[in-house]
């Protein structure tokens, strides 16, 4: 459709694994359907065979993501950017399986975020990724996770970058947004990935479920769109495929939500990440 030309289409959160998954084929699928920009989040370190003992051990996962982003950018009309961090589920792996106490886990994970922030500081990464478990954990593990997330907010404030969060399902994360504010990071620069259509506090990155997208459009508040494509051959069908954001964008336009689409792919990415999705096209 001619009115799609020159319109950016951003998937705000996905993973790419050229070694084991579809890698650049997934990027090509996204681009063929009209997708133009990607935020590529590093896979959890242990999925890459890294059992971190030292913050520097996260570098391998980060470097892999930078390589993937460079290759993806070559294939897109726009470009890709890396989002680097430490998956909050690591805390359970460390405490339950590897004999760390919660304080030691906190220290390692915060250290990993500090390494990720170095990449932001030198311009190689766009944003940080943190959060807390989406499942029940012991109080000490929950407290350690919140401390790690608050460290991510401090680093976001220090380096003037957004922080993507993985959290429990929730429509009210105002307390978390207030922690960001306390750390000096504007709450709208905190992004809840895997969000439903409605969220108080951070900016929601809405999964491309049609009902959730309609809810987000009706709310009239800023939102982003994502698939959380995991690119894992062991989990086929676990998530949405890479074509989903461009397909939903087309559908939303047909449903009369062109203005919300522009918000999710131009204005809100600018406001949250400081990226220019129009100026980086072509």
For binding to Zn ion (CB under 5 A), which residues are involved? Answer: 228
Pairing relationship of beta strands 37-41 and 190-195 according to DSSP bridges? unpaired
- What is the smallest separation between the CB atom of 42 and Zn ion, expressed in angstroms? 9
- What is the smallest separation between the CB atom of 245 and Zn ion, expressed in angstroms? 14
Residue 206 DSSP SS3 = strand
- What is the smallest separation between the CB atom of 11 and Zn ion, expressed in angstroms? 11
Q: Which two tokens stand for residue 189?
A: 């620069």
Residue nearest to Zn ion (CB): 228
In this structure, are residues 164 and 41 in contact, taking their beta carbons and an 8 Å threshold?
Answer: yes
By beta-carbon proximity to Zn ion, the closer residue of 7 and 64 is 64
Residues 261 and 191: their CA atoms lie apart, in Å, by 17
Q: Provide the β-strand partners of residue 41.
A: 83
- What is the smallest separation between the CB atom of 172 and Zn ion, expressed in angstroms? 22
By beta-carbon proximity to Zn ion, the closer residue of 87 and 159 is 87
Among candidate residues 2, 56, 76, the one with its CA nearest the CA of residue 242: 76
By beta-carbon proximity to Zn ion, the closer residue of 154 and 231 is 231
**Residue 220 CB burial class (10 angstroms; 0-12, 13-18, ≥19):** exposed
Place of tokens 């461009």: 246
By beta-carbon proximity to Zn ion, the closer residue of 15 and 253 is 15
By beta-carbon proximity to Zn ion, the closer residue of 212 and 228 is 228
By beta-carbon proximity to Zn ion, the closer residue of 15 and 265 is 15
CA distances, 167 to each of 96, 131, 192 (Å):
19, 5, 7
By beta-carbon proximity to Zn ion, the closer residue of 213 and 240 is 240
- What is the smallest separation between the CB atom of 15 and Zn ion, expressed in angstroms? 6
- What is the smallest separation between the CB atom of 104 and Zn ion, expressed in angstroms? 25
- What is the smallest separation between the CB atom of 231 and Zn ion, expressed in angstroms? 10
Residues 88 and 214: their CA atoms lie apart, in Å, by 29
Torsion sign, CA atoms 84, 185, 217, 130: positive
Q: Which two tokens stand for residue 223?
A: 């939102």
């Amino acid at each position: 459709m001619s009115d799609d030309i020159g319109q950016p289409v951003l998937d705000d959160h996905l993973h790419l694994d050229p070694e084991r998954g579809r890698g650049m084929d997934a990027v090509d699928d996204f681009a063929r359907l009209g997708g133009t920009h990607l935020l590529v989040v590093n896979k959890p370190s242990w999925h890459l065979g890294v059992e971190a003992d030292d913050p520097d051990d996260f570098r391998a996962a980060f470097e892999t993501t930078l390589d993937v982003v460079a290759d993806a950018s070559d294939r897109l009309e726009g470009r890709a950017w890396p989002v680097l961090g430490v998956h909050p589920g690591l805390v359970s792996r460390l405490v339950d399986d590897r004999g760390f106490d919660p304080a030691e886990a906190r220290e390692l994970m915060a250290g990993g975020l500090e390494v990720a922030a170095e990449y932001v500081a030198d311009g190689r990464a766009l944003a940080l990724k943190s959060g807390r478990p989406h499942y029940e954990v012991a109080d000490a593990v929950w407290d350690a996770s919140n401390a790690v997330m608050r460290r991510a907010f401090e680093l976001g404030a220090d380096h003037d970058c957004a922080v993507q969060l993985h959290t429990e399902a929730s429509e009210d994360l105002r307390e978390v947004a207030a922690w960001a504010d306390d750390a000096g990071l504007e709450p709208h620069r905190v992004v809840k990935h895997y969000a439903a259509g409605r969220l108080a506090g951070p900016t929601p990155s809405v999964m491309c479920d049609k009902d959730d997208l309609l809810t987000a459009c009706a709310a009239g508040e800023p939102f982003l769109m994502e698939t959380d494509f995991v690119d894992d051959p062991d989990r086929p069908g676990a998530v949405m495929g890479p074509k989903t954001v461009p397909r939903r964008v087309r559908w939303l336009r047909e449903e009369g939500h062109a203005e919300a689409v522009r918000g999710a792919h131009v204005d809100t990415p600018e406001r949250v990440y400081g990226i220019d999705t129009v100026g980086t096209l072509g």
